[in-house]
Amino acid sequence: MKLFKKLVILSITLTFLLVNVPHKADAAISVSASSAILMEQDSGRVLYGKEANTKRRIASITKIMTAILAVESDKLDEMVKVSGNAIRAEGSSIYLQEGEKIKLEDLVYGLMLRSGNDAAVAIAEHIGGSLEGFVFLMNQKAEEIGMINTHFENPHGLDDHENHYSTAFDMAILTRYAMENEMYKKISGTKVHRAPNPNESWDRVWNNKNRLLTQLYDHTTGGKTGYTKRAKRTLVTTAEKDGLELIAVTLNGPDDWNDHIQMYETAFKTYESVEILSEGSIEEADEGIYKNKIYLKGHYSYPVTAEEKENFKVEYQLITPKDDWEESADIPDVVGKAIVYLNNEQIKTMPIYFEKEQELEEKSFFDKFRSIFSFIVGVKQDG
């Protein structure tokens, strides 16, 4: 950017001595899955990978994309009329009936908790106008968020198309994106959901199929299961402990529950999320025009091991002040950048903002009153 052509680097370059970092645990991970990944939510750092960029069939973890598109549609309160096409979807079902009307929000719960393929088709037809229209939206979103090795052909993940695939890495990217949405996060982490049943006197009750969430691992916060004959077992889960939020993905994992637990347990023993950059004023600028005037709008945290505690460095680069900066209004909003390095490799850049004084468009109350008074006096004097 032109803004950074002329820079002055603050004389203080911070090297972080990270305290309270746990001793490194045995980092050896061995999973049954053909592809696997463990990613940290906040930073996106990959903590473990096995053939993470290999394209594979993904089965019903496809429904993560279907769910987030439904949530982002702002139509969750709308009623969806179920088509014959939806009730004829093969495989797992929430047993919708043709012609019934059901709230879109309830369909998303049925999709995520019970993996209803009928729910997936009903959602797709309502949001996209047709299956083809919804698939277009799926691939559009995939491109938008950086899923470069993914192609969707349906909203449920059934083996009815040859060109339907993703990777463990791409599914972690999708999950990281989806978990930023509070509604998706709530649905993904729900163990039991009740939905009205229009043709019966009792409610539908859906229990989540994700046994890691419901039975096996207390730190689990959500996820999605999957299985087809060709894809075999696929699984996406999320977990949190001591402020460290993790995403695990396995494709073709015959022992996927234990794969995920092992990845999580190893990471929780090995890594700690540490705040590297804090939101607010940058105290290191202690002189000149920038003193007490520059700040960051957000914070930045990163998962670290004991071995990495000496290897962080933060460098603040600022625009050289100009002679014509006589008032704060003359100074740009963004005056530099904070660069975070780990092992001398740049891992994050954040803009540095200049705090400008509030420019009063009107005079103070006293000055305004004085002006009015002078005007009145003048009228009297002039007769």
Residue with tokens 């930023």: 180
CB atoms near residue 11 (< 10 Å): 10
329 and 343 Cβ atoms separated by less than 8 Å: no
Q: Which of 35, 43, 63, 209 is catalytic?
A: 63
348 flagged as catalytic: no
Q: Which of 43, 60, 166, 301 is catalytic?
A: 60
Q: Which of 92, 115, 188, 301 is catalytic?
A: 115
Cα–Cα distance for residue pair 127/149, rounded to 1 Å: 24
Which helix (H) or strand (E) segment is 8 a member of? strand 7-9
63 flagged as catalytic: yes
- Which residues neighbour 370 within 8 Å (Cβ) at sequence distance 6 or greater? none
Is position 224 annotated in a ligand binding site? yes
The residue type at 373? F
102 and 92 Cβ atoms separated by less than 8 Å: no
Please count the residues of the chain. 383
- Which residues neighbour 188 within 8 Å (Cβ) at sequence distance 6 or greater? 67, 112, 178, 179, 221, 222, 223, 224, 238
Strands 14-16 and 312-319: antiparallel
CA 375 to chain centre: 60
Q: Is 350 left (phi over 0), alpha (psi -120 to 50) or beta?
A: beta
Q: Is 106 left (phi over 0), alpha (psi -120 to 50) or beta?
A: alpha
The residue type at 313? K
Which helix (H) or strand (E) segment is 237 a member of? strand 232-241
Cα–Cα distance for residue pair 242/148, rounded to 1 Å: 32
**What residues are annotated to the active site?**
60, 63, 115
Binding-site annotation, residues for substrate: 224
Binding-site annotation, residues: 224
